[in-house]
Amino acid sequence: MTTINVGLLGLGTVGRGVATILARQTPQLASLHLKITRAAVRTLTPKRQAQFPAIALTTDALAVVNDPDIQIIVEVMGGIDLPFALLKQALKNGKQVITANKDLIATHGQALTALAAKHHVGLNYEAAVMGGIPILRTLNTNFAGDAITGLAGIANGTSNFILTQMAAGCSYAEALAQAQAKGFAESDPTNDVEGLDAAYKLLILTRLAFDLNAKLANIHRQGITTLRRADFAAADFFGFTIKPLVSARRLDNQLDLTVAPTLVPKSHPLSGVVNEFNAIVLASTNTHELMLTGPGAGSLPTANAVIADLQATALALQDGHTPELAGLAPQPSTALDQPTRQLIALSTNGLVTGLDVATQLGIHGQIYASGDQLHLLTQAVDRQTIAQWRDALNHFVGISLQHILPIFSPDLQGTVTKFQTDEKKISFTA
C-alpha cells in the first residue's frame, strides 16, 4: 500500500488537532497510510518547525497546493478569498480537498462543488458544520430515500453557552465575559452573537438537507444581544427555555429559514442541550425524528471530523474511485413565511398595561408582567403581521419595544402551529 501524502493549510487550533490525532496512528488510521508532509502557516520560526519534525512547514500556501507529491489538501486556515483561490487551484491540480471552513463553503460551496465534480475529485467539509457532530455524513448517507421536511438546531456553541449562563441568572455582559474567559468567544464576538456564524451553517445544512441553494439574505436573522434576564423569567413562566436556534421548514420547494433566540418548550430535548454543546433535529418522512448532539467546536472534536473526511477520502483513493461528493447540484429556492407564535418583550412606564397594548394592537395571547417588564405570548402570526406590530409598538406611547422572539414548534413537518390557550395561565382576547 503506498502512502497518501496530505498537505495542511493552517496549523492552528484545528490543524494541530489533525496532526495530533494522525500522529497517534490507531490501527484503523495506520491501515490508511496517511502522512502529513507539508503545512502552511503565517509565522514560521525554527522553534515551531522543531515541534513538528516530520512536517515541512512553509509560509507559502500555494507551494503546498502545487506540490505534485501531495494527494489531499486539508484547509484549516480560515478566511474566504485566500482559501477560495487556494482550493480552486488544488481542485484544478486534481487533488482531493477537505476543509473545515464554513464561511468559505457557505459562500463558494456551489462553485467548489462544481469544480470538484469537473475534475473528478472529492470535496468534503464535515468539520465546517457543528464540529464534532457527523451531521453532513448523516445527511449524505441516510436520506437517499427519505424526504426531510424540517430541521432545527443549535449551531453556535458560543451563543448557547451565553444563553445557558443567562438562564442560570447571569446578565448578558457577565455571560459573554465567562464565554471569553473560557475561550468560547473571541474578543470581537459579533459573528457568533449576531447569528452570522449560525447563518452560514444553516446555508450549508439547507443545501444538503433540501437540495436548495439559499443565500444569507433569505435567512431571517436575529442576534442574542438584546436579551435580558426578564426574558428568561418570562420564558420560564410560560414553560420555555430560550435557545439560539437555526431552523428550516419546508413546504414543497419553499423554505422558511430562521436564525434567532427562540423559545423551546422545556419538554423538548433541544431545551436540554446546554453550555457549548450543539445539536440538530431532523424531521423526515421515513425516520420521523432524528437528533444528534455533541461538541460543535474545539480542537479535537473538530479535527476528528476532518479525520473522518480523511478516512473516507483515503478509502476512496485506495479503491481508485472518486470519493462521494458532499453536495448535490442545488436548485434555486424561494422564501416561505410560516406563521409562528412570538414572545414580545416590552419595557413600560408603569401606566400602560399588557391589556392596553394587546387591545390596541389586536394581539391574542397571554401576558406576563414583572416590574417594568412586560411579555406578551402571542398567537401564530406571519412575518408581515410581526412587522406591523413592530411598527405600531415603536409608536406606542409609554412602552419601549425590546424585541420579538419566535417560539419553536416541535412539529417540523411544515404545518402551522395551532395556538392553544392554557387555562392555568392568564389569558386574554383583545
Ligand X SMILES: NC(=O)c1ccc[n+]([C@@H]2O[C@H](COP(=O)([O-])OP(=O)(O)OC[C@H]3O[C@@H](n4cnc5c(N)ncnc54)[C@H](OP(=O)(O)O)[C@@H]3O)[C@@H](O)[C@H]2O)c1
**Residue choice 1, 144, 181, 351 for contact with a copy of itself (CB under 8 A):** 144
Q: Where are the alpha helices (DSSP H) in 119-171?
A: 135-142, 157-167
Q: Say if residues 105 and 213 touch (Cβ distance below 8 Å).
A: no
Helix%, strand%, coil% for the chain, nearest 5 = 40, 25, 35
**Looking at this protein, which amino acid is placed at residue 373?**
Q
Q: What kind and span of H or E run contains 161? A: helix 157-167
Q: Could you say whether residue 77 binds ligand X (CB under 6 A)?
A: yes
Provide, rounded to whole angstroms, the least separation between the CB of residue 423 and a copy of itself. 20
Q: Is 399 helix (H, G, I), strand (E, B) or coil?
A: strand
Lookup result for grid cell 392555568: 424
Build a one-symbol-per-residue string for 8-47: x at contacts with a copy of itself by CB under 8 A, - elsewhere.
---------x---xx-x-x-xx--x---------------
290 HSE (CA, 13 A, CB side): 16
Q: Could you say whether residue 196 binds ligand X (CB under 6 A)?
A: no
Label residue 363 left, alpha or beta by phi (over 0 means left) and psi (-120 to 50 means alpha): beta
* Active-site residue, from 201, 215, 243, 425: 201
Which of the choices a copy of itself, ligand X, none does residue 272 contact, using the CB cut-off of 5 to 8 A by kind? a copy of itself
- Tell me, by CB under 6 A, how many residues bind ligand X: 25
Q: Could you say whether residue 127 binds ligand X (CB under 6 A)?
A: yes
**Residue choice 5, 32, 73, 78 for contact with ligand X (CB under 6 A):** 78
Build a one-symbol-per-residue string for 342-381: x at contacts with a copy of itself by CB under 8 A, - elsewhere.
----------------------------------------
Provide, rounded to whole angstroms, the least separation between the CB of residue 23 and a copy of itself. 10
**Residue choice 124, 302, 340, 373 for contact with ligand X (CB under 6 A):** 302
Label residue 428 left, alpha or beta by phi (over 0 means left) and psi (-120 to 50 means alpha): beta
Residue 201 annotated to the active site:
yes
**Looking at this protein, which amino acid is placed at residue 312?**
A
Q: Is 192 helix (H, G, I), strand (E, B) or coil?
A: helix
Lookup result for grid cell 497518501: 4
Which of the choices a copy of itself, ligand X, none does residue 46 contact, using the CB cut-off of 5 to 8 A by kind? none
Q: Where are the alpha helices (DSSP H) in 36-132?
A: 46-51, 61-65, 81-92, 102-118
Rounded-to-integer distance, Cα 161 and Cα 183, Å = 11
Which of the choices ligand X, a copy of itself, none does residue 273 contact, using the CB cut-off of 5 to 8 A by kind? a copy of itself
List residues with catalytic annotation.
201
Residues contributing to the site for ligand X (CB under 6 A): 10-15, 40-43, 59, 61, 76-78, 82, 100-102, 127-128, 131, 297-298, 302
Report the interface residues with a copy of itself, using CB under 8 A.
Answer: 17, 21-22, 24, 26, 28-29, 32, 132-134, 137-138, 141-147, 269, 272-273, 285-295, 298, 300-301, 303-305, 307-308, 311-312, 315, 319-322, 324, 328
